[in-house]
Amino acid sequence: MFRNLPAAAFTEDALTDLAKTMFQGEFAEKIEEGKPVDVALNEREPEDENPAIPAGFTYFGQFLDHDITFDPVSSLDRFNDPDALQDFRTPRLDLDSVYGSGPADQPFLYEDDELHLLLGDDKDFDDTRKNRPDLPRNTAPVRRALLGDKRNDENVIVSQLHATFLRFHNKVVDTLHSRDFGLCQQTVRWHYQWIVLHDFLPRIIGKETYERVIVGRGEKPNIRFYNPQGRYAFIPVEFSVAAYRYGHSMVRPSYSLNRIVTKPRPVEQPFNGKTATFNRIPIFSLIDTAEQPLANLNGFRELPGFWPIDWAFFFDGVAPDGEPPAGAVLPQPSYKLDTTLVDPLTSLPDHQREPIKIRRALAALNLLRGWRLGLPSGQAVARHMEMEALSDEQLFDSEDAERRRARGALLTYHPGIFRDNAPLWFYILREAEIFGNSQHLGPVGGTIIAEVIAGLIREDRHSFLAQWPKWRPTLPGAEPGHFTLADLINFTNR
């Protein structure tokens, strides 16, 4: 995307030292020692929360990411040529993670009529919750999901979102009363693309960037920096390795799924002198789910009984399944867009064999990957985009006094490395704190995300932007001619 900008120079020690300042730290010692942590106690409500973005959009963003990107080959231990990377997903918003390569090539994803997508076992638990299935799975002891992209089973939330899109497709088939699979698929894809452009993006990138890039030229987006130049559409590394990793800061340490499934906390264990709004389940932990299947939201397993998600807990505007808990505030907010990540992300389950402990931490993995792929600095990108670059004082400041001291020391401990040379991912998160009040991205991060996503849709000859720019959603929603993720869920649940 910014091929003419030089790669920012760092050292591994400098980046891992920066990563150590990017976690909350309340339970870091326990996590480092591999001890179980009740991460629900690590929620400092409401100061960690972002009321502007419901928690479900964290995982819709992950679902979207899996639809357009997959890089299984680049390494943290060597420098990689970004031009040589192969994207193992189609760089289009076409839901190939849901449809695979279609009923002719992957019939195991479809029912015998080759119209409906296959669903898993029903997980309903009372009369108020109908048709809430798991993902389709094989019959082996582990019961692996049958998916177009295995990553959509990596946690319970994204797997249930994938299941919702399976049901959405089937609902469209039944609503259109059509034997034309292509027509049904197009209807699903166009409504999905509309949701991404006009429901998801405004929340993430902020109103100003949305109006400048997405709405700016009426029917067509106003794109300045993302330009395939006659090539096939591609995913820039500035997007996949930096800007679109904003969502890691939105992750909560734990979630409530519905009004039934809770992780009870003893009354004598309030946090900060108060009880939590919800009893929540950790997003993941090192506890073996085969031994304790209800201990976390780890994926790659059959959905436990009573665990179908009530999306009213995750998205605004969704009709709840039954009566919500007394005093509950729905939906759960995401966490703030800032330069801190929750403690469970310091020790990722998939990286426990990594001998260097800091390489188990998501912040370190992100920073090292950006360096190894030769990303430019945040300041260089900002100036190239003709935006005022943040100063070192702004970048390495923090409202937290201890964090401010630690980050200020980086400029001393690593002289010449971080001066006017911040990693792009860190820069984008800090920019969100300063310009977005931790509620949405700032101009650099927001523009990269808006232009790439809008550009991918524009370059796809099957998209509504390419085929019919004046098209408006046709399925029923709260507002005629508009369609949101809440509308999709409510339509599917009818």
- pLDDT category of residue 269 using cuts at 50, 70 and 90: very low
CATH no. for residue 19? 1.10.640.10
Report residue 121 as tokens.
Answer: 């076992």
Give a yes or no: residue 478 inside a domain.
Answer: yes
If you average pLDDT over residues 176-202, what whole number do you get?
Answer: 98
Give a yes or no: residue 480 inside a domain.
Answer: yes
Give a yes or no: residue 182 inside a domain.
Answer: yes
Number of domains in the chain: 1
pLDDT in the model for residue 232: 78
pLDDT in the model for residue 277: 43
Is residue 318 a contact partner of residue 312, using CB atoms and an 8 Å limit?
yes
| Between 273 and 225, the higher pLDDT residue | 225
| Between 321 and 335, the higher pLDDT residue | 335
pLDDT in the model for residue 71: 54
| Between 286 and 96, the higher pLDDT residue | 96
pLDDT in the model for residue 430: 99
pLDDT at 183 over 60: yes
Residue 147 bridge partners (DSSP): none
Separation between Cα atoms, residue 314 and residue 331, nearest integer Å: 5
- pLDDT category of residue 217 using cuts at 50, 70 and 90: confident
- pLDDT category of residue 271 using cuts at 50, 70 and 90: very low
pLDDT in the model for residue 90: 66
pLDDT in the model for residue 79: 54
Give a yes or no: residue 3 inside a domain.
Answer: no
pLDDT in the model for residue 40: 45
CA distance readout (Å), 249 to 203, 240, 347: 15, 15, 15
pLDDT in the model for residue 273: 39
pLDDT at 208 over 50: yes
Q: Which of 25-29, 53-57, 116-120, 381-385 is predicted with the least confidence, judged by mean pLDDT?
A: 25-29
3 burial via Cβ count (<10 Å: 0-12, 13-18, 19+): exposed
- pLDDT category of residue 231 using cuts at 50, 70 and 90: low
pLDDT in the model for residue 89: 47
Q: Which residues constitute the domain of residue 150?
A: 12-493
Residue 14 identity: A
pTM of the model: 0.91
Give a yes or no: residue 5 inside a domain.
Answer: no
pLDDT at 266 over 70: no
Give a yes or no: residue 4 inside a domain.
Answer: no
Give a yes or no: residue 2 inside a domain.
Answer: no
Report residue 60 as tokens.
Answer: 């819709």
276 burial via Cβ count (<10 Å: 0-12, 13-18, 19+): middle
254 burial via Cβ count (<10 Å: 0-12, 13-18, 19+): buried
DSSP state of 123: -
pLDDT for 419-435, tens place per residue? 999 999 999 999 999 99
Residue 476 identity: P
- Highest mean pLDDT among 3-17, 283-297, 347-361 belongs to 3-17
Is residue 120 a contact partner of residue 136, using CB atoms and an 8 Å limit?
yes
Give a yes or no: residue 7 inside a domain.
Answer: no
pLDDT at 443 over 50: yes
pLDDT at 81 over 60: no
